[in-house]
A and B are shown apart, each in its own frame.
Chain A
Amino acid sequence: MQLKLSEEDAAFRQELRTYFTTKIPQEIRDAVAARRELTKEQFVQSQQILNAGGYAVPHWPQEWGGRGWSDLQRHIWHEELQRACVPVPLAFNASMVGPVIAAFGSQEQKEKFLPKTANLDIWWSQGFSEPDAGSDLASLRTTAVRDGDDFIVNGQKTWTTLGQHGDWIFCLVRTDPDAKKQAGISFLLIDMTTPGLEVRPIELIDGGHEVNEVWFTDVRVPAENLVGELNHGWDYAKFLLGNERVGVAPVGATKRVLANAKEWAGDQLSDPLVASRIVELENELLALELTALRVAANSADGKPHPASSVLKLKGTELQQAVSELVVDLAGPASLASGAPDDATDLDFWTRRATPAYLNLRKASIYGGSNEIQRQIISRTILGL
């Protein structure tokens, strides 16, 4: 047992902190701190600066830009990004399709996609969920039928986050309609400019445009864009979803908002109810962060730790609870969410509070809903 970081890891942490706070434009970091929505250009600029320093895809294989860091170092990297208000590298690229292509793609696919994926020259969208395939993802119905050198794709994907920025989309498609659920699924890469592919926005309760429907009508996809083997897509999806043991819980970002909330609270901090509510949240966040550290620091085999479900479950609950606190601190000003900067006397954080709160209701739904996480815990860990 050892409390402190090793000298090497402490120096590593400082090195990251310096890079993140000096190289990423202040304007981007301010936008993240204020919980503003970022533009596509801001995401791209930030990731490209990270990539130039070798900080965009450190967990990838080393020949494709990985750094061979320990899980603890990756944990530190992820926390320091959030602490410095630097947007975390686009998950669809860095955490999802990149590792899948690196592990299962052909040499041509790796060369064609990985460098541009790391550098966000290609913006990837995720085509997994469908209207009738949410938590029960394997019931998806979008089809891909072989036709000469191509697949013809028909169907509909939904909840495609930031699909309006997407250049390419990685999709789970049904290639064998007769096989049992999981067995007939393949993993296909599709150029979003292909004729027949249409992105339609979904307006959300926070008023923002974050997710989309993606419709496929006779979309012709070259067969060379199949990743790995035909009908093995479910294995790759499981790899992708179970890939992460680091960065599962949004600890750093939630801590940052909570720290800001203390400033925003002002005089309300002398209210014992407010102070104790903040302490309870801080304490649970500390316990969560230490759990994330325990998982990261104790991993040798690189396998997903079952406690990842604990991190997802508790991490999203706390993320939501902190956003709820901010709405309460804002009080009636939280109603003024539609007020433009030049037509209001209310602070931006008060106007942003409710949209952020409403938006974060998603956190306990996506990435395997929290009910799915409880199922994983009760089955896999507790053997129930």
Chain B
Amino acid sequence: MDFTYDDEQRALREAVRGLVGSTYGDFENRRRTVAEDPGFDDTMWKRLAEMGVLGLPFDEEDGGTGAGPIETSIVAQELGRVLAPEPFLTSVVLAGGLVAMAGSDEQRAEVLGALSAGEMVLAFAHDEPGEAVLATHASDGWVLFGVKEPVLHGARADRLVVSAALPDGGTGLFLVDGSTATRSGYPTHDGGRAARVTFDATPATALGAGDQSAVIDLVLDGTRIMAGNEAIGAMEVALESTTAYLKSRKQFGVTLNTFQSLNFRAADMYVSLELTRSIVAWATMVLAEGTPEEVAEASARASLQVSRAGRHIGQEAIQLHGGIGMTAEYAVGSYTSRLTALDHMFGDGNHHLRSLAGKVGGYDEVDPLA
């Protein structure tokens, strides 16, 4: 049992922090970037690729750098700290993760190679506003029918990974050229982008054969753990910003940290953060070393804690700042917005609570050292 990062991992953190900090360290740059489509900085995306960050989770033979969940988690935390709007989580971790698990040798080499090089943006079209998207056999492959929404970065994505109901039951995965679907893009509250994506006999290539539900579940579980890591970065800064503000802001002729009631609330935020940091680090290690069943449980447990802590810290950060925390110009409210978005991307706290509660009678205790 060891919670420490090695020298290479620390160097990776420094490098990523330096790169994203050079742009988004100034919150105004982040505001400018998310104000215009595509909602992120293509140059930054390229530079992340040059640093090897976009290929981190993928095998070298697929064009990646062959690192693991620990390294990926470090990147997620650092992007979370500055609210970097580049779609690392949804494009690389999630959509790229699906291609890595379900794709053929050729698909992996083509898609993941381009993704790692920063030449392609992927999106996973999974959530549905209504009926399930259907996949149907066509003369030379598959066509899809139906609507997916919200698809994060779906309007900008060069290639879509789409889940769809198969004719004989089960859920398949498909690759679709972004330009062949009908897409209406719009901003999300956290500065991100999403889209409604409509398929109408849209040509698609199967990603893996037959039902891919298990792949989808496993990749979603891993993505939740990385979303938790991104949330850790955001929570860290929300708390840092809050304590700095309490020390500098004056009311009644004294700084706010003169008031014990405020300091105690900051202390409770720290408790939430530390507990969450521990469980997310653990879940990341389970992702690196565990079975799919262990990953599913760790993901649910970490996500539940991240949801609870993200709300606590995000809400208190604004309250302890007062009115300034409500403004778009000041960063802290955007951290709360991002934490809220992360909480709802792949099932919120109660979603995970429900799944865990259904199994609670089946075991004696939770033993992380077992």
Residues on A lying within 8 angstroms of B by beta carbon are 1-6, 9, 13, 72, 76, 255-256, 258-259, 262, 269-270, 272, 275-276, 278-280, 282-291, 293-294, 297-298, 307, 310, 313-314, 371, 373-375, 377-379, 381-384
Contacts of B239 in A (CB 8 A): 382
- List the one stretch of B100-108, B195-203, B349-357 in contact with chain A: B349-357
The answer to whether A284 touches B361 (Cβ under 8 A) is no
Let me know if B263 and A291 touch, CB within 8 A. no
Bound: A293/B246 CA distance, A: 31
Contacts A310-B274, A310-B275 given; indicate if A3 touches B4 (C-beta within 8 A).
no
Min CB distance A384 to B, Å, is 4
A379 and B274 alpha carbons, distance in the complex (Å): 16
Q: In the bound complex, how far is the Cα of B275 from the Cα of A383, in angstroms?
A: 20
B268/A374 in contact, CB under 8 A? yes
Say whether A3 contacts B1, CB under 8 Å. Answer: yes
Asked if B281 is at the interface (CB within 8 A of a chain A CB), the reply is yes
13 CB < 8 A contacts A-B: A1-B288, A6-B1, A13-B369, A76-B369, A275-B361, A276-B354, A285-B366, A290-B281, A291-B277, A373-B267, A379-B263, A382-B263, A384-B266
A5 to B285, CA, bound (A): 12
In the bound complex, do residue B368 and residue A286 qualify as a contact, i.e. CB atoms below 8 Å apart? Answer: yes
Contact assessment for B353 and A280 in the assembled complex, using a CB-CB cutoff below 8 Å: yes
| Contact across chains for B281 and A1 when beta carbons are under 8 A apart | yes
Tell me what chain B mostly uses at the interface: helix, strand, loop, or mixed.
Answer: helix
Q: Is the CB of B270 within 8 A of A377?
A: yes
Interface-centre pick from A4, A13, A259 (highest chain B CB count, 10 A): A4
Report yes or no: B1 in contact with A2, Cβ–Cβ below 8 A: yes
Q: How far is the CA of A142 from the CA of B366 in the complex (A)?
A: 47
Are A272 and B357 neighbours in the complex by a CB distance under 8 Å?
A: yes
Asked if B282 is an interface residue, CB under 8 A from chain A, the answer is: yes
Most buried by B among A289, A290, A297, A298: A290
Provide the bound-state CA to CA distance between A278 and B257, in Å: 36
CB-based contact A384/B1 at 8 Å:
no
* Complex alpha-carbon distance, A176 and B285, angstroms: 55
- With a cutoff of 8 Å between Cβ atoms, the chain A residues found around residue B9 in the complex are 1
A266 to chain B, nearest CB (A): 10
CB proximity of B8 to chain A, nearest CB, Å: 12
Of residues 1 through 57 on chain B, the ones whose CB sits less than 8 Å from some CB of chain A are: 1-5, 9
Are the CB atoms of B361 and A269 closer together than 8 Å? yes
Residue of B nearest to A289 (CB): B368
User: Which among B5, B247, B305 is the interface contact of A1 at CB below 8 angstroms?
Assistant: B5
| Residue in contact with B1 in the complex, picked from A269, A270, A293, CB distance below 8 Å | A293
Is B360 in contact with chain A by the CB < 8 A criterion? yes
Which of the residues A3, A72, A293, A374 comes within 8 Å of B289, measured between beta carbons?
Answer: A3
Chain B interface (Cβ < 8 Å from any Cβ of A): 1-5, 9, 70, 239, 243, 246-247, 257, 260, 263-264, 266-268, 270-271, 274-279, 281-282, 284-286, 288-290, 301, 304-305, 353-354, 356-358, 360-361, 364-366, 368-369
* Whole-angstrom distance between the Cβ of A130 and the nearest chain B Cβ: 24
Which 3 residue pairs of A and B lie closest in terms of their CB atoms, listed nearest first? A290-B278, A378-B263, A3-B285
- Provide the residues of chain B in CB contact with A278, threshold 8 Å: 357, 360
A279 touches B353 (CB 8 A): yes
Q: B residues within 8 A CB of A72?
A: 1
Q: How far is the CA of A177 from the CA of B282 in the complex (A)?
A: 52
Output the nearest chain A residue to B243 by Cβ-Cβ distance: A382
Q: CA of A112 to CA of B263 in the docked complex: distance in angstroms?
A: 46
Nearest to A282 among chain B residues (CB) is B366
- Contacts of B360 on A, CB cut-off 8 Å? 262, 269, 275, 278-279, 282
Structural contact, A287 and B285, CB atoms closer than 8 A:
no
Interface contacts beyond A1-B3, A290-B282, A384-B257: sample of 13 additional A-B pairs, CB < 8 Å, sorted by A = A1-B4, A1-B288, A2-B2, A3-B289, A6-B1, A72-B1, A256-B365, A275-B361, A283-B305, A284-B305, A291-B278, A374-B264, A384-B263
Q: Is the CB of A4 within 8 A of B1?
A: yes
Contacts of A1 in B (CB 8 A): 2-5, 9, 70, 281, 284-285, 288
A298 x B304 contact (CB < 8 A): no
Point out the residues of chain B lying under 8 angstroms from A76, CB to CB: 369
User: Cβ of A259 and Cβ of B368 under 8 Å apart?
Assistant: no
Determine whether the beta carbon of B257 is less than 8 Å from that of A287.
no
* Interface contact A310-B368, CB-CB below 8 Å: no
Task: Say how far B286's CB is from chain A's closest CB, in angstroms.
Answer: 6
Most buried by B among A3, A9, A258: A3
Q: Kindly state the separation between the CA atoms of A93 and B83 in the bound complex, as whole angstroms.
A: 51
